Amino acid sequence: MPVEKLSEDIYLIDTLALGFREFMASYLVMGGEKNALIDLGYASSFPVLVESLGEIGLKPDDVDYLIITHLHLDHSGAASLYVKSSENSVVYCHPKAVRHLVNPSRLIESAGEVYGEYVKLFGDVGPVPREKIIEAEDGGRIRLGDLTLRVIYAPGHAPHQIVVYVEEAEALITGDAVSVQQPSSPFKIPATPPPSYNHQEAIETLRKLSRLRPRSILRPHFGEVRDTGNFFEDEVKVLETWRRIVGEAMMSERDHEETVRKAINNYVEAMKIDLSRSPLLTPLVLRISFQGMKKYLEEHQG
Q: How far is the CB of 220 from Zn ion (least distance, A)?
A: 8
Within residues 76-135, the interface with Zn ion by CB under 5 A covers: none
CB of 217 to Zn ion, least distance (A): 16
Taking the complex as a whole, the smallest distance from the CB of residue 185 to Zn ion amounts, in Å, to: 19
Residue 160 as a binder of Zn ion (CB under 5 A): the answer is: no
Q: Contact between 9 and Zn ion (CB under 5 A)?
A: no
Look at strands 10-14 and 3-5 and give their pairing.
antiparallel
CA separation for the pair 280, 278 (Å, rounded): 7
**Between 36 and 180, whose beta carbon lies closer to Zn ion?**
180
201 binds Zn ion, rule: CB under 5 A = no
Q: Which of 14, 176, 201, 235 binds Zn ion (CB under 5 A)?
A: 176
What is the DSSP-derived secondary structure letter of residue 137? P
* DSSP calls for 191-206: ---TTT--HHHHHHHH
- Asked if residue 147 lies in contact with residue 166, where contact means CB atoms within 8 angstroms, the answer is yes
Tell me how far, at minimum, the Cβ of 127 lies from Zn ion, in Å: 20
Q: How far is the CB of 70 from Zn ion (least distance, A)?
A: 6
What Å distances lie between residue 262 and 57, 192, 240, 283, CA to CA?
A: 49, 17, 17, 12
Q: Cβ closer to Zn ion: 31 or 220?
A: 220
Contact, 121 vs 44, CB < 8 A?
Answer: yes
Applying CB under 5 A, the span of 6-14, 22-30, 133-141, 175-183 interacting with Zn ion comes to: 175-183
Report, in Å, the least distance between residue 59 CB and Zn ion. Answer: 28
- Contact between 221 and Zn ion by CB under 5 A: the answer reads no
Within a 10 A sphere around the Cβ of 108, how many other Cβ atoms? Answer: 15
CB of 282 to Zn ion, least distance (A): 16
Is residue 243 within the footprint of Zn ion (CB under 5 A)? no
Using Cβ positions, the residue closest to Zn ion within the complex turns out to be 72
Across 17-29, b (16+ Cβ under 10 Å) vs e yields bbeeebbbbbbbb
Q: Which of residues 61-80 bind Zn ion (CB under 5 A)?
A: 72
Determine the size of the site formed for Zn ion (CB under 5 A).
Answer: 2
Burial readout 60-82 (b: 16 or more C-beta within 10 A, e: otherwise): bebbbbbbbbbbbbbbbbbbbbb
Strands laid side by side in the 25-30 sheet: 3-5, 10-14, 25-30, 35-38, 65-67, 90-93, 133-135
Residues that bind Zn ion (CB under 5 A): 72, 176
